[in-house]
Structure 1
Amino acid sequence: MDREGRGDSTGTADDDLAWELLGSTIDYSCPGFDVRRDDVRLPDGTETDYHYVDEPPAVVVLPFVARDGGREELVVIEEWRQAVGRVSHGLPAGTTEPDDDDLAEAARRELAEETGYEADSVEPLLSSEPINGVANAVHHYFVARGCTPTGEQDLDFNESIRVSTTPYDDLFARALGGELRDGRTLLGLFAYAQHHE
């Protein structure tokens, strides 16, 4: 684990590229993430500071529902994204809680909360650091099988989400065609395709 306990420690402090951490503090805090300032010493001895988004790990779910004829469909969401000013089409995802020791259970919870669907099985796919130049975010991807609608959504106050299902092949074609912009969804679809070709 790295110093935040979030992932792989490849490129540790004994690497000659490593920056020495002198101190760390939160400059700004809001629901969902903080802005952290690290005081660091660079390899050439220069002392400076570095700001980045500090947020909990997240889970991203590829939730498959079985349809007649064996055709695979995914449970997908449409969600308003204020940062880009539009509705984003993609996969259910959410941040973990401090007491989440089991990421697969966190994936089940986020799937249920955002979509009202529950899964028979949940298996890990991959983990990624999507924007590690500006954030310490780690996204853990899971494939959920046997998903069925069992309840109502349980959304956070600032979530606006519409749920539907779509054939996997159609969503993958939209990804290849440039219609989908959500990075988490693109990586999940491409990783799934690579692992299941």
Structure 2
Amino acid sequence: MADYKEKMISSKKIYDGRIINLRVDEVTLPDGKTSKREIVEYAGAVAVVPINEKGELLLVRQYRYAVGETLLEIPAGKIEPGEDYASSAGRELTEETGYEAGNMKHLISFYSTPGFTNEQIHLFLAADLSLKKQNLDEDEFIDVETVSLKQATEMIMSGKIRDAKSVAGILTALKFLEDK
């Protein structure tokens, strides 16, 4: 198997933000030529597939400025410094939906878009839900909706659920539950 690893020659920080950082790296390619790589650095995220006692999936509907659309998604958010993944997932679930999970199971971790970011999303299945209180960030406006897993998969196939973490999360959870 060939070694396609690229080696960094230099790195220049372009932007240092609250949520992301942007840098441009110059790299040596496997054939000896050089190229530039624009990298979005992100601390990482968690995503949660919450299933209630009826076997329904809790989804959040929110406007996403970057794409100019209101999307239906699984709850998710960034990992805070020093926070473990399960705690982060529980916090995001409660903040966005108002529910707390009695059972939180890590399913998979995956890169969201490795062509330009190092973001890794850690996916959890949440069960034994109990309603507490929604605690949105001051810049979040979210509605919570419930759908069956069958409806959710139909919504994926018809393009009504289109963000990658939700597609990956719902299909992974469905496979996990089927194999249980």
TM-score (norm 2): 0.91
The runs of 5 or more residues in structure 2 that have no matched partner are none
Query: What is residue 32 of structure 1 aligned with on the other side?
Result: 19
Query: What is residue 108 of structure 2 aligned with on the other side?
Result: 126
Superposed CA RMSD: 1.8
SS of aligned partner of 1:120: strand
CA shift at 1:134, angstroms? 1.4
Matches within 5 A, 1:83-162: 83-100=66-83, 102-155=84-137, 157-162=138-143
Residue identity opposite 2:74 in structure 1: L
* Displaced runs of 4 or more, over 4 A: none
Query: What is residue 64 of structure 1 aligned with on the other side?
Result: 51
The runs of 5 or more residues in structure 1 that have no matched partner are 1-10
Which residue of 145, 148, 156 corresponds with 1:164?
A: 145
Q: How many pairs were matched up? A: 178
Q: Distance in 2 between matches of 1:17 and 1:190?
A: 31
SS of aligned partner of 1:145: strand
Which one is further off, 90-99 or 39-48?
Answer: 39-48
Query: What is residue 183 of structure 1 aligned with on the other side?
Result: 164
CA shift at 1:64, angstroms? 1.1
If each structure's strand is expressed as a fraction of its own residues, which one has the higher value? 2
Q: Distance in 2 between matches of 1:160 and 1:32?
A: 18
Q: Distance in 2 between matches of 1:121 and 1:138?
A: 22
| 1:99-146 CA distance string (max 9 Å, x none) | 12x211110011111121100010011111121011111111000001
Percent of residue pairs bearing the same amino acid type? 31
Matches within 5 A, 1:44-63: 44-63=31-50
CA shift at 1:21, angstroms? 1.6
